[in-house]
Structure 1
Amino acid sequence: MQKWIFFVLFILAGALGLGVLFQDISDRQEAQEAEAAASKLPQLKVAASNWQFDATDYKVKSGQPTKVSLSLKEGVHAIEIVGLGVKLDKDNPTKEVTFDKPGTYEIDCVLPCGEGHAKMKAKLVVE
């Protein structure tokens, strides 16, 4: 009698384990699909190093969802796109944004980073 109970418990545990395994696989597939969809978005990449950005001007298209990302090459920085409410830092380095208003906006480093901090600016042109 005990052998049958252990046998049934073993089968149930195996079935439960397979269910958890397949659920985990489904969750991973959904995450990969979401990541693939996000990677198809146009990207605005801003790289910050000590007292400068990797470009003085950046361009994006108006009305188009865009993945904005900040990468830190040297030092610790945080940026704000003035007038658009976009703020990125090391803890929140990416954000999906739709730039609705064409114009020129200033990108500022908003985290004091040293002697050249005041000059750490760039322009974003929304076309």
Structure 2
Amino acid sequence: MIKKFAILLSIVFVIALTACGNSNDSAAGNANTSEPEIEAETELIITATNYSFDQEEYHLKKGVPVKIIFKNDSGNHGILVPEFELQLNAKKSSKVIVPEEAGTFEMTCSIMCGSGHSGMNAKIIVE
């Protein structure tokens, strides 16, 4: 009796996991297709190495569409700029943004990368 219950419980668990996995995959696919395509006028490549970005400051022009391309030279890193809804990493390495507001914005590493993670930041300056 206990064996039958354990087998039945295992089957229900596998079905539940399968249903959850399919739901998440289709939702992720829909999110990518609903994003409007914007033609970039320029590109900005941001390269990460262990505990630093290749520049301390990156300059953008207000209202000009720019394709941000993230490259990871060493370690496991990502970038996050909440004001631009920008989060890039190895899975999603580029995005076109249009900076609508002038100012200085903090860019941080979005993946816990080790002892120097907290100091891994740079500035994006929109002029």
Q: What's the TM-score, normalizing by structure 2? A: 0.67
Change (3 A) 1:71 1:104: same
- Preserved CA contact (<8 Å) 2:52 2:120: yes
Unaligned runs of 5+ in 2: 1-37
The alignment partner of 2:124 has SS state of strand
- Preserved CA contact (<8 Å) 1:82 1:108: no
The alignment partner of 1:123 has SS state of strand
Count of residues in Structure 1 that have an aligned counterpart in Structure 2: 90
Q: Give structure 1 regions of 4+ aligned residues with deviation exceeding 3 angstroms.
A: none
For residues 82 and 39 of structure 2, the distance between their equivalents in structure 1, rounded to whole angstroms, comes to 25
- State the identity %: 31
For residues 120 and 112 of structure 1, the distance between their equivalents in structure 2, rounded to whole angstroms, comes to 10
Deviations 1:7-50 (A, max 9, x none): xxxxxxxxxxxxxxxxxxxxxxxxxxxxxxx9972111110000
For residues 115 and 45 of structure 1, the distance between their equivalents in structure 2, rounded to whole angstroms, comes to 25
Unaligned runs of 5+ in 1: 1-37
Q: What's the TM-score, normalizing by structure 1? A: 0.67
| 1:67 counterpart = 2:59 | no
Q: Which amino acid aligns with 1:58?
A: Y
CA RMSD of aligned residues (A): 1.6
For residues 117 and 103 of structure 2, the distance between their equivalents in structure 1, rounded to whole angstroms, comes to 25
1:82, distance to aligned residue in structure 2 (A): 3.1
Give 1 or 2 for the bigger CA radius of gyration: 1
For residues 103 and 43 of structure 2, the distance between their equivalents in structure 1, rounded to whole angstroms, comes to 18
For residues 78 and 87 of structure 2, the distance between their equivalents in structure 1, rounded to whole angstroms, comes to 7
